[in-house]
Amino acid sequence: MKKLMNSLYILTPDAYLTLDGENVVVKKDGAEMGRFPLHSLEQIVTFSYMGASPALMGKCAEQNKSLSFFSQSGRFLARVGGGVQGNVLLRRQQYRIADSPSESLQTAKNFITAKIFNSRWVLERSLRDHPMSIDAGKVKDASEKLKESVYTARSCTDDGSLRGIEGEAASTYFSVFDELILNSDPCFGFETRNRRPPLDCVNALLSFAYSLLANDCANALESVGLDPYVGMMHTDRSGRKSLALDLMEELRPSFADRFVLSGINNRSFQSNMFVKTDSGAVLLTDDGRRSFFKLWKSRRDENLTHPFLKEKIQWGLVPYIQALLLARYIRGDIDEYPPFLWK
């Protein structure tokens, strides 16, 4: 089983990353802020506008360590990775399936069915854990609608219908999302999902979590030899990691949404961790991002029993395991891609 290694997050806006021997060195105004052994890191994620030295980028590429660059608002900018993993036959088969409407639809249905299934169980968990603190009738109605959508998604015959089912299910899910937020702070009121930019604290947290999850999925796909840019449901677009977005769909509710809800309800996120810009966008402050990453690491380190493998793993390995299962399906080792179904 793959070992979950450390991730290094650089939040200081004017920090510069360099290489000293086998160590990553973080500098600010020429002074060393810290150093970290590169061999102990799985990935480096930086929100600094200063960038990194060519020597460090070359070393990361040589050792297949992901070095990702994000804007201060959490928007993905670029990534340095190693050489192409896996064999060309696997990727050729991936492209064949992606170009086949019937085969790509089957895989896309598994992604979306799992997303709706997991969304429903986010609601069901709240009904089980906090029946007296939420509008149980409203949430139960939404859960029943999602249950119907699971069966409808499994039986649809074209990608247009599948997208329509997904959109309707997402609307149903987010229509009761505010009921799941038990923190009475007005900062965490939720009306609807919005992005680019997020207009409230909850959407700021969701968008930030989705960006990190998409990056983890892209890294996982490349590590097993798949092309993250060629998807089954998300259409090809220059620069868009369509397959990473596909794989992320089933993990949004169980990983990212549950993480955000837990952080809000446990009061780990506070209203002073957000700032509103002149354009109306709501973003995490530097302290907010630090708190976010501390909680994100704790979440990745938690254990669960994988629903398909029946083995105990860490949450941070779930994208890698699902990418591995997808590669096995594409190679023909298993008859169907087994999505991540969480309860």
Residue the block writes with tokens 């030899």? 225
* Arithmetic mean of pLDDT, 281-310: 88
> Quick one: 6-80 is in which CATH superfamily?
CRISPR-associated endonuclease Cas1, N-terminal domain (3.100.10.20)
Tokens of 235: 């259409």
pLDDT band at 57 (very low <50, low <70, confident <90, very high): confident
pLDDT band at 114 (very low <50, low <70, confident <90, very high): very high
**Residues linked to residue 37 through DSSP beta bridges, in sequence order:** 23
pLDDT band at 82 (very low <50, low <70, confident <90, very high): low
Q: Of the ranges 44-53, 107-116, 131-140, which one carries the lowest mean pLDDT score?
A: 44-53
> Alpha-carbon torsion 236, 175, 180, 142, what sign?
negative
Which residue from 175, 167, 185, 210 is spatially nearest to 296, judged by alpha carbons? 210
Q: What is the CATH number of domain 88-331?
A: 1.20.120.920
pTM above 0.95, yes or no: no
Could you give the CA distance from residue 260 to residue 199 in angstroms, rounded to a whole number?
A: 16
pLDDT band at 286 (very low <50, low <70, confident <90, very high): confident
Predicted pLDDT at 81: 67
Bigger pLDDT: 250 vs 313: 250
Q: Of the ranges 5-19, 95-109, 132-146, 244-258, which one carries the lowest mean pLDDT score?
A: 5-19
pLDDT band at 9 (very low <50, low <70, confident <90, very high): confident
Highest mean pLDDT range out of 212-216, 243-247, 285-289?
243-247
Predicted pLDDT at 151: 92
pLDDT band at 84 (very low <50, low <70, confident <90, very high): low
Could you give the CA distance from residue 249 to residue 262 in angstroms, rounded to a whole number?
A: 20
pLDDT band at 86 (very low <50, low <70, confident <90, very high): low
pLDDT of residue 7 exceeding 80, the answer is no
What Å distances lie between residue 103 and 93, 228, 271, 330, CA to CA? 11, 18, 46, 10
Predicted pLDDT at 73: 63
Each domain of the chain, given as residue ranges in start order, spans 6-80, 88-331
120-164 pLDDT per residue, tens? 999 999 888 888 888 888 989 999 999 999 999 888 888 889 999
Predicted pLDDT at 173: 94
Residues contacting residue 218 through CB under 8 Å, at least 6 positions apart = 79, 228, 241, 244
- Let me know if 45 is exposed, middle or buried by CB neighbors in 10 A (0-12, 13-18, 19+): buried
* 315 close to 88: Cβ distance less than 8 angstroms: no
